[in-house]
Structure formats: structure tokens, C-alpha cells
Amino acid sequence: MRFKRIDVFRIVAIFLVLWAHTQFFDGITPQGTFARVVERVAVIAMRCAIPFFFIASGYFVGGRIMEEGGAQFHLTWKYSKKLLIVFAAWCAIYAAESPSVFLDLLRENPETLFFVGTRIHLWFLPALLLAILCFRFWPFDKRGNSFLAFGLVLFVVGLLGGSYAITPIGLDLRFNTRNAIFFSVPFFAIGAQLHTRKPIVTARMAWGLFFLGLALFLFETYVLWARWSALPIRHDYLLGSIPYGLGFFLIAYAARDETRLENTLASYSKYVLGIYVSHMLFIDAWSPVGVYFPQSLWAFLLPVLVFFSSLLAVAATFRTPLRWLVS
């Protein structure tokens, strides 16, 4: 069963990602209180989007793997091959865009090429690929709680080696735990469990969990800044990420009465992967124009320009033999 509102939320989530990335990578340092507030709001708002994508993948991809029985290997290979091809292709594209960056990575930090690629946002693809492979080859009952328990252990280790590494309980793992399986597996496992259990969730419950997660995320962000001077915009995941991302997913999951507008917008969700992998090209293309606009306006105009430029480019590519690059 496909939920049209989940597809609509994919579009909302990718816009939140783009909005945050335009604040990070536009080459303009925020000047003044308003610009810094916008940057923080965009980044905090985006922190529910990536967990949402992992949960949605667990719900749909993990769900299909569980349902396919003897065809699990074929289905896993289908998704894995797709992610590998898209990852490799866009690594090549961004390497061609910035050859010096690629050569520096190859010489100084070659393992980054495997877990992140040649542009920072591509880390999501190998992380999702590894989550799918872990789930497929999990030796115990996939419908039970063991994979979720494994994921929660990874989540704790990832936090202690990530945002909480600067605290007395932190771990020095010498590895960016945002990458690989530390966070992709737990959220994928949550999605798979939702598919198995199919809980009855009301809109009030979903919104309550969402705001609880947001409040916890903000509280953790404040404490880490106040006690250990951690920049608020640098936290990929915190404890609040679980209720924050899960609540965002459940808001869409709980919806049953879909509107005509949602049915129309849902058809554009097929472009989300392409928008994600390509949008950095459009940030690079549009960013130089920002010097001609007030920062307060550009902070909102740039993500809109990047989103629709990416959308048009991906939609056009879908009509060509190169659609495999973006789907």
C-alpha cells in the first residue's frame, strides 16, 4: 500500500534539506541576528528530514524484502545496484566539477570516497545501501525486535562518537558517525517495524511525538552549546532525532483522507532522489548571484531557486536515456 501523503512529505523533506544546505554551502557568512536565526531555523527544521527518509525506506523497502520470501536476494540486489550506480555516477560528476577536491580526498582521506563520495551530501546513498544490506542479511527474524535492538545500540554508539563525543561520556572513534550504519540502520529498523506492526496512530499522537522530538532536540542543542560550546548547527543526530523524525513520518502515515492537491503533488515524489543528488550543482550555480540581494531575502530565495532548478532538470532528464542518473 502506498500513502500519497508520505510521498508529499518526501517533497517537503527534500525542500527542508535544500534549505539547510543553501545556508551551509552558499559561500556567504551570515551577517546580523536575522541571518543567523534563519540559518539555525533551517538547519534544525532539516534534522527531521533525513531520519524520515531512512524510516520511509525501512517501511517500504524493508517491508518488501520481508514480504518477498525467496526473492529477497533479487530485490536486495535491485535496490543495491540502483544506489551503487547513482552514487558512482554522481561521484564522477562532482569529481569532474572539482577535480582538485577529488584528488585531495584520494591522497589524504581515501576512505571518505567510500562512505561520503566526492560531495558531502552523497553520504546518504552508501549509508542507505549499507542499511538495506544489513537488513537483508540479518541472521535472525526480521519481523522481531532483534534488528531494531541492534540499530538502537548503533544509535547510542553513534551519538557517543558524534555530537556527544565532546562530553565526559563521549567516545573518540576517529570516524564521522553520521556516515555508514550508525544512524541509517536504526531508522531503517524503525520503518521496518512500523511495516510489520502497522500501528494505529492518530494525528494528535503523531504531532505530539513530533513536537516532543523537536523540544528534546532543541534542549540537547542548547545544553551542548552552553556546557561544551558545540555549535548548534553541527548536530546531525541527537537523542531527540528519534521522536523528531518518527513523528514527522507518522504525521504522514496517520493521514487517511488524501486531498486532490496531495494526489497531484505525490506524482512529483519520483523526482526526489534526483533532486537530492543534483542540487549541489545548482547551489554552486546560483550562489554567486547572492551578492546582489539582501541576505534576509537571499536566505529564502536561494532554496526556492535551487529546488525548482533541480526539479526542472531532473524532470527533463527523466525523459531521456539518462534517467538512470536520477531515479
Nearest by Cα to 279 from 296, 304, 297, 301? 304
What one-character-per-residue DSSP string does 200-257 give? ---HHHHHHHHHHHHHHHHHHHHHHHHHH---GGG-S--TTHHHHHHHHHHHHHT--S
CA distances for 248 relative to 175, 214, 220, angstroms: 28, 10, 19
pLDDT score, position 298: 87
**What does the angle CA 65 – CA 69 – CA 71 come to, to the nearest 5 degrees?**
75
pLDDT score, position 203: 92
pLDDT score, position 307: 96
Q: How far apart are CA 115 and CA 176, in angstroms?
A: 10
Q: Which three cell numbers stand for residue 202?
A: 492518530
* Predicted TM-score (pTM) above 0.85: yes
Q: How far apart are CA 51 and CA 237, in angstroms?
A: 9
Q: Which three cell numbers stand for residue 306?
A: 535551487
pLDDT score, position 306: 96
Contact 306, 18 (CB under 8 A): yes
CA-only gyration radius of the chain, Å: 19
Contact 237, 162 (CB under 8 A): yes
Give alpha helix (H) positions in 255-294.
260-266, 272-286
Q: How far apart are CA 238 and CA 223, in angstroms?
A: 12
Q: Which three cell numbers stand for residue 23?
A: 545556508
pLDDT score, position 28: 58
pLDDT score, position 30: 64
Which amino acid appears at position 326 of this protein?
Answer: V
Three-state SS at 294: coil
Annotate 74-87 with b (16+ C-beta within 10 A) or e (fewer): ebbeebbeebeebb
Listed by start position, the domains of the chain span: 1-46+259-327, 50-254
List, in order, residues 6 or more apart from 160 with CB less than 8 Å away.
169, 170, 171
Per-residue pLDDT of the chain (327 residues; tens, 9 = 90+): 567 889 999 999 999 999 989 887 655 566 667 777 887 888 899 999 999 999 999 999 999 988 877 678 888 889 999 999 999 999 999 999 888 888 888 888 888 889 999 999 999 999 999 999 999 998 888 888 899 999 999 999 999 999 999 999 999 998 999 999 999 999 999 999 999 999 999 999 999 999 999 999 999 999 999 999 998 888 999 999 999 999 999 999 997 777 777 888 888 999 999 999 999 999 999 989 988 888 888 888 999 999 999 999 999 999 999 999 998
